[in-house]
Amino acid sequence: MSELARRLAGELVRAGVRHAFGVAGSGISYDLIACLAELGVPYYPAAHEAAAALMAGACGRDGRLRAAAIGIKGPGLANFVPGMLANRYEARAALTVSESYPSAAPAYAMHKRADHAALASAAAKGYARLDRELRVVGSLAELAARETPGPVHLDIAEEPEDAAGVRCFSAVGSGLPACGEPGEPGEAAGSDGGRRALERALEAVRRSERPAIVLGSVAARRLGSFRWDRIGVPVLTTAAAKGCVDERSDFYGGIVTGEIAKLSPERSVLREADLVVGIGLRNTEVVRTALTEAEIVIADHAAPGLNAGFGASAVAHADDLEAACAELAEALSAKSWGAEYLRTYWRDVDRELFRGSWLPAAALRETQERLEGKETILTADTGLFCTVAETVWKARRPFEYCGSGNGRFMGISVPSAIGLAVAHPNATVVCVAGDGGIRPYLAELKLAVACKLRLVVLYMTDGGYGSIRRATASRTVGGVPTGGRPETGRPETGRPGAGMPPGGHPAEIADSSWYRPMAALGWEAARAESVRQLRRALARIDPDRMEAPFFLELAFDKARYTSMTVNLR
């Protein structure tokens, strides 16, 4: 093995890397993987680089760098980009590593003439070429974990640079400075007078009668010791912050997204508040910033632009966020309201989601009850069932949930679940995927069998893309409404695709069943079309004695599935 690969492996371990994923080449990336293995860092071969990046990101979902994804130059890096972008959206610290040509190599000697820095700039937080002293490794690791966490990329060549530095990239379309953290040289630590803004926020709390709290994901990364449910006022979170408050407490108020419907927390809970205290409330964690007509104050430690759009009367950018939140929590604890109102609200939500005996809400509740008392992590893909999962699955801490709360990246749950199962071998990882998200990662699902991962997949199928079907219900393709005949709107009978354009309707999948192919791949597999069948299948799962991952296909009525979240978001 090359001496450079050996030295680099040691630096990566010192930087926190404990797991490696990727698609190896035959050059220095191969040597690096072997050298990491010698140091006790296992390597998991993915079939596609994007999956490897997502697996690495799942290991670093708490903002600490724990994994690397390793690949080849050119197409390898290009394939990393979708996974890197998802990690950027979800604030997951991860390192991607690509082989590269030396910077001095002439163009005629490079058959893969991709501009690695330009490719990385579209998704990564930072980029560097490996230097002879390997100093950039530690710098990249520090940047990946710095608020707001995200992916970084390292180019490695057989001939490292004499001197190299880290290039920082701003989030795409953010309008923020490169890397976007406060406290950097030349940037004020507090955009709004720091202490003065905090005093205005505290005064707003003192004069309020019904304050509510909205937590952003920074609460998981920096404020883990806070017991928000003990303050005595309603506490809500963004989707990215799910689990930052015990969701079985009397004061949990749900997830805010800015997508307001009849039973959304914005309309049902925040409407009753006269003040909203946002802790790390950022525009990257909601779809729309118009959450409430009540006054809003925000405390955070991030680039000021991330708090724009909420119309906050005070935005306190605190160097010591924990101390600022302690002051706010003390002021808020003098208030007490909302417990009885929230009990009524959750009864209304349950009445809406459990209207029928067989819908994703029932399946998720049954699964959580079956695994009660076990260390469990739920990771959910995006889709209508994601809204249900974020509402029904009750997390007590951020560790217990990992979703795509910001990017809504279809397909993220399968590789994320594999990364989580690798990083947390004593936990049972429950992966919720739909018709769209299950399809891209067949080889990765096979990898889960080879590794005997403690993994349960709940595949929720209604025969197509339910969220697209709902959004396009009034539109037609080839004169045919989504999922139905023009004259009746009822599903077309006869041969699949009858009356549709060549290839079928864009929101439908001709054959959506996967449990038999999964059984052929070595998974324990079953199908359920009712609560009774689900309970029978769940009875086969013993997390402490799993010899193979378990794939559970859950088939639902198309019409009821499409309408199940209409009053939630």
Tokens representing 230?
A: 């003990």
Tokens representing 425?
A: 């071998």
Judge whether 464 and 512 are in contact, CB under 8 Å: yes
Please state the separation of Cα 222 from the chain's center in Å. 18
Q: What is the mean pLDDT of residues 86-112?
A: 90
The per-residue pLDDT for 115 is: 92
Return the higher-pLDDT residue of 113 and 165.
Answer: 165
Summarised one tens digit per residue, pLDDT across range 397-413 is: 999 999 999 999 999 99
Return the higher-pLDDT residue of 273 and 192.
Answer: 273
The per-residue pLDDT for 504 is: 64
Residues 118, 496: Cα–Cα separation, whole Å: 44
- H runs (alpha helix) in 60-130: 75-89, 116-121
The per-residue pLDDT for 303 is: 79
Cβ-based neighbour number of residue 411 at 10 Å: 24
Please state the separation of Cα 474 from the chain's center in Å. 31
| Cα–Cα distance list, 507 to 413, 462, 560 (Å) | 20, 11, 16
Q: What is the mean pLDDT of residues 466-474?
A: 72
Kindly tell me if the per-residue pLDDT of 495 is higher than 70.
no
The CATH number for 195-343, chosen from 1.10.10.10, 1.10.260.40, 3.30.450.40, 3.40.50.1220, is 3.40.50.1220
The per-residue pLDDT for 355 is: 86
The per-residue pLDDT for 491 is: 43
Summarised one tens digit per residue, pLDDT across range 456-468 is: 999 999 987 767 7
Kindly tell me if the per-residue pLDDT of 417 is higher than 90.
yes
Residues 57, 45: Cα–Cα separation, whole Å: 15
Summarised one tens digit per residue, pLDDT across range 513-529 is: 999 999 999 999 999 99
Judge whether 226 and 332 are in contact, CB under 8 Å: no
What is the spatial order of strands in the sheet that 126-129 belongs to?
A: 43-45, 19-22, 67-71, 94-99, 151-156, 126-129, 167-168
Residues 569, 471: Cα–Cα separation, whole Å: 12
Cis peptide before 289 (omega within 30 of 0): no
The single residue listed with the structure tokens 């949990």 is 252
Chain-wide mean pLDDT for the chain?
Answer: 90
Tokens representing 15?
A: 């930087």
Do domains 3-168 and 195-343 share one topology? The answer is: yes
Return the higher-pLDDT residue of 429 and 189.
Answer: 429
What is the percent of the chain with per-residue pLDDT over 70, rounded to a whole number?
Answer: 90
Judge whether 143 and 152 are in contact, CB under 8 Å: yes
CATH 1.10.10.10 fits 354-472+507-563, yes or no: no
- H runs (alpha helix) in 333-485: 339-353, 360-370, 384-392, 413-423, 442-450, 466-471
Residues 20, 26: Cα–Cα separation, whole Å: 16
Q: What is the mean pLDDT of residues 279-290?
A: 96
Q: Residue 406 is which amino acid?
A: N
The per-residue pLDDT for 189 is: 38
Judge whether 324 and 198 are in contact, CB under 8 Å: yes
Backbone dihedral angles phi then psi of residue 477, each to the nearest 5 degrees: -130, 120
DSSP 68: E
Summarised one tens digit per residue, pLDDT across range 320-377 is: 999 999 999 999 999 999 999 999 999 999 999 998 889 999 999 999 999 999 999 9
| Cα–Cα distance list, 527 to 371, 388, 453 (Å) | 19, 20, 20
The per-residue pLDDT for 178 is: 59
Judge whether 103 and 129 are in contact, CB under 8 Å: yes
Three-class secondary structure of residue 340 per DSSP: helix
The per-residue pLDDT for 461 is: 94
Summarised one tens digit per residue, pLDDT across range 170-200 is: 865 454 555 644 433 323 334 446 899 999 9
CB within 8 A of 46, min separation 6: which ones? Answer: 21, 22, 23, 52, 55, 69, 415, 443, 444, 447
The dihedral formed by the CA atoms of 398, 403, 408 and 411, expressed in degrees to the nearest 10 = 160
| Cα–Cα distance list, 468 to 106, 473, 483, 557 (Å) | 48, 8, 11, 16
The per-residue pLDDT for 264 is: 96
**Strand runs (DSSP E) across 404-547, as ranges?**
428-434, 455-461, 476-477, 480-481, 524-528
Q: Residue 377 is which amino acid?
A: I
Q: What are the b/e assignments for 40-66, b being 16+ CB within 10 Å? A: ebebbbbbbbbbbbbbbbbbbbbbebb
Three-class secondary structure of residue 171 per DSSP: coil
Tokens representing 426?
A: 């004593």
The per-residue pLDDT for 503 is: 57
Strands 428-434 and 455-461: parallel
Confidence of residue 502 (pLDDT cuts 50, 70, 90): low
Residues 336, 334: Cα–Cα separation, whole Å: 7
Tokens representing 86?
A: 């998802």
- Residue of 485, 486, 482, 440 whose CA lies nearest to 462: 482
Residues 127, 116: Cα–Cα separation, whole Å: 9
Return the higher-pLDDT residue of 91 and 194.
Answer: 91
- Residue of 387, 392, 385 whose CA lies nearest to 554: 385
- H runs (alpha helix) in 472-557: 515-520, 531-538
CB within 8 A of 272, min separation 6: which ones? Answer: 210, 212, 338, 341
The dihedral formed by the CA atoms of 188, 191, 195 and 197, expressed in degrees to the nearest 10 = 180
Q: What is the mean pLDDT of residues 200-221?
A: 98
Tokens representing 62?
A: 């708490």
Kindly tell me if the per-residue pLDDT of 486 is higher than 70.
no
- Residue of 401, 351, 341 whose CA lies nearest to 377: 401
Using alpha carbons only, how large is the chain's radius of gyration in Å? 24
Domain parsing of the chain, residue ranges: 3-168, 195-343, 354-472+507-563
Which residues sit opposite 167 in a β-bridge? 127
Domain 3-168 top-level CATH class:
alpha beta
What is the percent of the chain with per-residue pLDDT over 90, rounded to a whole number?
Answer: 79
Q: What is the mean pLDDT of residues 114-142?
A: 96
DSSP 464: B
The per-residue pLDDT for 175 is: 47
Q: What is the mean pLDDT of residues 274-278?
A: 98
Cβ-based neighbour number of residue 105 at 10 Å: 12
Summarised one tens digit per residue, pLDDT across range 41-54 is: 999 999 999 999 99
The per-residue pLDDT for 112 is: 78
- Least confidently predicted of 21-35, 96-110, 199-213, 446-460: 96-110
The per-residue pLDDT for 296 is: 98
